[in-house]
Structure 1
């Protein structure tokens, strides 16, 4: 695949211009990097609907830990080419394409919310390239055996989940008609997190970039996450895994994280009883430290090794 850097779309705090990675099927993936250029590589999979500009808001953390954080727009978001009909498992090939373009052999990977399943997909399909994998506030697959998938879920996500079963066109019409303006209000615990100045300052541009080209990315994320089987089994993951979930999460109920932790044989479940969905922000420093192989945040691997 090809790779080039372009001067557009540069995120505040990034150390390089946005990179365009061209996949083997000639799609563009927009990539951004944060933190230490020579640091330990960690690939981050954003939530939905978000973009490559989404990350932990205090970027001094990346410098303190010596992290080279790599983010990219999933297909249809931001500057990445849409890929209608994509499944969660398809992210594995895209992460591999990004890693190949950046010269990364082995690295840690983690995802938040809708990005969690996509991070797990890469770990399942490419264990030889993953040091550790993390998922925060992650969905479980719609066909998860023994899980009441929508139990305890917020009205907005329950609606999207119901529509997703009817396919991509139904999701397109649903999101076009509803949009963010008509979504039910978030619980107070989530509003409190999103109103924090550092978080709102980061999320505003990240969301705006996600939907700048339209709703394709959001539509395909909802369809892949809520309406179809993922295309891989989390039980196939063999690398060390860490699952974090807030006990008060109604956007993605904690039963999802518990199911994933029970399914992934190498996983440890961290359940924070007093946290909601947005609690993943405060849980990120500990997750990053664990991904590096040391609870104190000291590097335990050689960059790109």
Structure 2
């Protein structure tokens, strides 16, 4: 049975966290949700984890799903928060897995908690802002990230007029959202209805210094990337693949930003095989 628990961050904040309630015969994975999501565990993830004997934890990043907002947070701060969540559930070592906006935060955990994180999966995750390639090229709707370059106030103003562009998703994405990943769309709507604070803070964090260098990550990292992704284009995974010391790249040429999540089950198996602990 899934349990929900409010965890103290240690600095007066609350982090809303979830536990699949399943045994961890082969290990525990901490899931990092996309932008925007609530942090609740979604059915496809629960099924994939249960089939593989994996215990699944997750939490809402600050500003999402009942977790207190932290304007000015950087990507690396996720490592500290996840350490608190893992402690609250009695977990010492674990793997991390994140999609879209959760991908960078999953990688951050390996940088901040190298003694605790065994392995990492990043699906459709954005790369740090750089001029080494055209960072915005291939994004159908980069308005939020462009606004974030001008700071939090500019990003908050953009949030007041922002509208989702359906063209950001491919036919394969819409097929996944109408099928096994329907719960993701519903969860994103719930997160959006609760306000834009978490999404604003994510975008500002992505376009600011992350607080760590990818080259510092010692754990094995699997990058899973859809070749048709219109939200986070393949160039981001390519850049991360070159910078992460122990990275492996799974390219899925026919997938977009959501349909790539169909690889979650296989990616969980990779996490178990590549445990360093």
Normalised TM-score (structure 1):
0.85
Residue among 143, 153, 158 paired with 1:159: 143
Tell me the equivalent position of 2:261: 281
Residue among 102, 118, 125 paired with 2:89: 102
The verdict on how the C-alpha distance between 1:291 and 1:228 changes in structure 2, with shifts beyond 3 A counting, is: same
With 15-24 and 105-114 compared, the bigger mean Cα shift is at 15-24
* Conserved? CA contact 1:54–1:206, under 8 Å: no
* Conserved? CA contact 1:42–1:108, under 8 Å: yes
Residue among 184, 188, 193 paired with 1:207: 188
Residue among 267, 272, 275 paired with 1:292: 272
Distance 1:266 1:56 in 2: 30
Alignment pair present for 1:191 and 2:178? no
Q: Deviations over 1:95-125 (max 9, x none)?
A: 1110111111111111101100000011011
**TM-aligned CA deviation for residue 270 of structure 1:** 0.9
Q: Deviations over 1:43-86 (max 9, x none)?
A: 01001001212535263322220011101000000110001111
Q: How many pairs are equivalent?
A: 275
**TM-aligned CA deviation for residue 204 of structure 1:** 4.0
Distance 1:273 1:112 in 2: 17
**TM-aligned CA deviation for residue 184 of structure 1:** 5.0
With 75-84 and 15-24 compared, the bigger mean Cα shift is at 15-24
Distance 2:91 2:65 in 1: 23
Residue among 63, 72, 90 paired with 1:85: 72
* Conserved? CA contact 1:77–1:209, under 8 Å: no
Runs of at least 5 residues in structure 2 that lack an aligned partner in the other structure? none
**TM-aligned CA deviation for residue 273 of structure 1:** 1.3
Structure 1 runs (4+) deviating above 6 angstroms are none
With 50-59 and 256-265 compared, the bigger mean Cα shift is at 50-59
Tell me the equivalent position of 2:213: 233
Q: Deviations over 1:235-271 (max 9, x none)?
A: 1011111111111111100010011011001111111
Please state whether the residue corresponding to 2:145 is helix, strand or coil: helix
Distance 2:43 2:132 in 1: 33
The verdict on how the C-alpha distance between 1:238 and 1:257 changes in structure 2, with shifts beyond 3 A counting, is: same
Normalised TM-score (structure 2):
0.93
Distance 1:253 1:210 in 2: 24
Give the alignment's Cα RMSD to 1 decimal: 1.9
Runs of at least 5 residues in structure 1 that lack an aligned partner in the other structure? 1-14, 295-299
Tell me the equivalent position of 1:33: 19
Tell me the equivalent position of 2:126: 139
**TM-aligned CA deviation for residue 147 of structure 1:** 1.9
